[in-house]
Structure 1
Amino acid sequence: MFERFTKDARDVVTGSSEHAQRAGADAVTEEHLLLALLDQEGTRAAFAFASLGITDRRESVEASLADVRRRGGLTKADSDALAELGIDVLQIVSKVESVHGEGALAVSRGPKRWWAGQRRPFAVSAKDTLVRSLRIATGRGDRRIGGEHVLLALMGKAGVVADVMGEYGVTYGAVERAMFGRGGAVAG
């Protein structure tokens, strides 16, 4: 499948691995794929981010992702739903962190020893995103898989990335319109 990736899609894959390495993560996640997409310039995904106002709010997006990690993977929507049941997630997180240290609920399983040059494995959810990007490309009649397909795959699945981006008004439909025009047809 990797041979069908365009240069920008390959850059997303390698960039996500670099983000995982810098973060000390056990594996490359969907979050790292998003961060690698945000690094790009001159691509359809970069155009979509710029037109949807995300490029200028990258730090805020990264902070939102960090908040989700701090809450053990619970999104704002999850926290709000639990609050309706009388459960204060931030109070629980604070209590756990007071006993076990800051970031105790972070999704990472803890430090692993990585040797120089060794790549992080891709988490199942990140692999699934790449497979979905192939399906999206095929469904659109595209022969190659680009970063735009990876972005649509991220936005088309419920989860942390889609929820965080949704906080900024970025949805699958909005991304598709920004990249391909009205109705998602290839702008031409």
Structure 2
Amino acid sequence: MFERFTKDAREAVVSAQEEARALDHAWIGPEHLLLGVVARTGAPGARTLARLGITPEACRAAIGSPRPFDDGDAEALRAFGIDLEAVRGRAEDAFGPGALDAPPPAGPAPRRLFGRGGGTKAHVPFTRRAKKALERSLREALALRDRRIGVEHVLLGILDAEDEVTAGVLRRLGTDPATLRSGVLADLAQAA
């Protein structure tokens, strides 16, 4: 499938791997692909992100955000009698500080592949979510009748409303999958 990717789209995927390593993550998820896309300044899709004020720095901060739950989540849970801060406190008592800060990667337990300060160039696997996002990018290109998979298709493939991790990152960036999808499609239509 990667032979159908444009040079920019391939570089976005490579950037995603580099970003995962820089964040000391042992996996590549759609959130890392988003970082790879936003880094392709000027490419379709990346321009939409820039227009919405989404920068690589803001994206990194949203991915590394210490609280994956926002105030809206806490309020919704309170309606069911669940105190999110109390749950967080108990989880940290049992599993250590930051136990709820990042989602675990899909698949087997993560192994520490590299250390801080450069580390090695060990393989960083794609999560099931990231693989599905890349598969969706092919479907997006076909739906738009494009012969090649570009950065814009990778971005559209990432925008799965059911992927709560990526949706949370987008919320922290001030948008959501549906709004971003509409923006990308509008920008593509305007460029045509």
Does the CA contact (< 8 Å) of 2:159 and 2:181 recur in 1? no
Pair 104,170 (structure 1): closer, same or farther in 2 beyond 3 Å? closer
Superposed, which structure 2 residues align to 1:91-110 within 5 Å? 91-105=86-100, 106-108=102-104, 109=109
Match of 1:143 in 2: 147
Determine the C-alpha separation between the residues in 1 that align with 2:136 and 2:78.
33
Matched, 1:178 2:176: no
- Cα RMSD (Å) of the superposition? 2.8
Which residues of structure 2 form unaligned runs of 5+? none
Query: In the alignment, which residue of structure 2 is the partner of 1:134?
Result: 138
Displacement after TM superposition at 1:171 (Å): 3.8
Write the letter of the residue equivalent to 2:157: A
> Which amino acid in 2 is paired with 1:135?
R
Give the distance between the partners of 2:125 and 2:75, measured in 1 at CA.
Answer: 32
**Structure 1 partner of 2:28:** 28
TM-score (norm 1): 0.80
Identity %: 36
Change (3 A) 1:173 1:82: closer
More helix by share: 1
Residue correspondences, number: 182
Change beyond 3 A, Cα 1:17–1:99: same
Give the deviation of 1:180 after TM superposition. 4.1
Summarize the Cα distance change of 1:112–1:173 in structure 2 as closer, same or farther, 3 Å threshold: closer
- Looking at structure 2, the residues matched to 89 and 60 of structure 1 have their Cα atoms a distance apart, in angstroms, of 25
Structure 1 gaps, min length 5: none
Match of 1:49 in 2: 49
The residue that corresponds to 1:83 in the other structure is 78
Alpha-carbon deviation of 1:135? 0.3
Give the distance between the partners of 2:72 and 2:181, measured in 1 at CA.
23
Does the CA-based 8 Å contact 1:37-1:46 persist in structure 2?
yes
Distance in structure 2 (CA, Å) of the matches to 1:25 and 1:70: 17
Bigger drift between 124-133 and 148-157 goes to 148-157
Report if the CA contact (8 A) 2:161-2:178 is conserved: no
Note the 1:9-20 alignment, pairs <5 A.
Answer: 9-20=9-20
Q: 1:7 to 1:186 in 2, by over 3 A?
A: farther
| TM-score, normalising length: structure 2 | 0.78
Q: How does 1:150-165 map to 2 (within 5 A)?
A: 150-159=154-163, 160-165=165-170
Whole-angstrom distance in 2 between the partners of 1:163 and 1:5: 27
